[in-house]
Amino acid sequence: MLSSDRVSKSFGTTLAVDELSIQVNKGEIFGLVGPDGAGKTTFLRMVCNLLDADAGTITIHDSPASRFPRERLGYMPQKFSLYGDLTISENINFFASLHSLDKKITRQRSEQMLQITGLTGFEDRLADNLSGGMKQKLALTSALMTRPELMVLDEPTYGVDPESRKEFWQILYRLNESGITILISTPYMDEAELCHRVALINSGKLVACESPAGLKKLFAQRVVEIRADIFDPYFFDSCPGVIDSSYYSRRFHLLVNNSEQLFTILKKYSLDNGFPDIKVNYISPSMEDVFAFLAEPRLPRQADDI
Ligand SMILES: Nc1ncnc2c1ncn2[C@@H]1O[C@H](COP(=O)(O)OP(=O)(O)O)[C@@H](O)[C@H]1O
Ligand SMILES: [Mg+2]
């Protein structure tokens, strides 16, 4: 449905998006996943024709994205603005009027969309008096008024409490089931798990594009968790057989290509340190692991607890 072919965009000397090629299929929930500054917003703005690419092309249904009818593309920007002194209904009506929807259609659709987003019953509440989660829902409701077939959401759950994030995702699933293709960006790896497929991006570049299960499969039998009183986060960095390591406070996740060498080192450490308690297990990688393994060394090391 949507295809980008080697799309690049620079701001001065900053290469925000670097030859990014992805394909989003009709009916998918497709995640653009990466840390702050990865280029997610810039890319989504180009998809929504709000920004021109320096190079490359973006097509929707095989035509340039710029020709895709605006009302069939819903966009929920990272920083959207609502009118705080207008109620939920008034905000929606205002948005609908910007798109020249007549009153009858506006009424019908807003009833329907408020139902889906769970805001029915709150129509007369001022936007200023809404919680963060409800504001996101209102922004989504407004963006849905044109009945888009592709919904682009830029970090919609950033800074929203966990319960509201969960609810928001339930809404996204409902919308997806009703036939809307979803392209969503997120810095959260737990949200990456909820997408059908994800493009991991870092420093503007595509690192991998797969289903979450497919990404994890790449690292099956290759992730070792070590629990030990080792306080040096870089302890395993130069260890032969270890390709990569992440440290989560006395817990290491290691990507290994030769566990024998690793076990030899551990044995020696054990001997040298009077047999401290060390637990070693093969584990299924988390999305955090996958991202850390694929994206390092560009990512800063995580030294805090998860
Ligand atoms: N309008 C802009 N002017 C200058 N630099 C920008 C602009 N927009 C984004 N950037 C830079 O481009 C890079 C990617 O930013 P962005 O697309 O916002 O990433 P993300 O949404 O993944 O956090 C960052 O280094 C950011 O500072
Ligand atoms: Mg962003």
Ligand 1, residue 154: give the atom nearest the CA. Answer: 21
Return d(Cα 155, Cα 44) in angstroms, integer.
11
- Residue to mutate (ligand 1; options 10, 41, 46, 51; most atoms within 8 A of CB): 41
- Ligand 1, atom 2, lies closest to the CA of 11
Domain definitions of the chain by residue range = 2-210, 216-295
pLDDT of residue 296: 57
Return d(Cα 9, Cα 251) in angstroms, integer.
39
Chain centroid, CA 205 distance in Å? 15
- Residue to mutate (ligand 1; options 42, 203, 207, 299; most atoms within 8 A of CB): 42
Summarised one tens digit per residue, pLDDT across range 65-118 is: 989 988 899 999 988 788 999 999 999 999 999 989 999 999 999 999 999 999
pLDDT of residue 221: 72
**End-to-end Cα separation, the chain, in angstroms:** 36
Please list every protein residue whose CB sits less than 6 Å from any atom of ligand 1. Answer: 11, 14, 16, 34, 36-42
What are 234's two structure tokens? 């870089």
Ligand 2: centre distance to CA 92 (Å): 24
**Sequential pLDDT tens for the chain (306 residues):** 999 999 999 999 999 999 999 999 999 999 999 989 999 999 999 999 999 999 999 999 989 998 998 889 999 998 878 899 999 999 999 999 998 999 999 999 999 999 999 999 999 999 999 988 999 999 999 999 999 999 999 999 988 888 999 999 999 999 999 999 999 999 988 899 999 999 999 999 999 999 999 988 877 778 899 998 888 889 888 888 888 888 888 899 888 877 788 888 888 888 888 877 888 888 888 888 787 777 654 333 343 433
- Residue to mutate (ligand 1; options 14, 44, 158; most atoms within 8 A of CB): 14
What are 261's two structure tokens? 């060498």
Classified by CATH at the fold level, domain 2-210 comes out as: Rossmann fold (3.40.50)
- Ligand 1, atom 26, lies closest to the CA of 37
CATH class of this structure's domain 216-295: alpha beta
pTM: 0.84
Ligand 2: centre distance to CA 36 (Å): 6
Return d(Cα 12, Cα 110) in angstroms, integer.
42
pLDDT of residue 286: 82
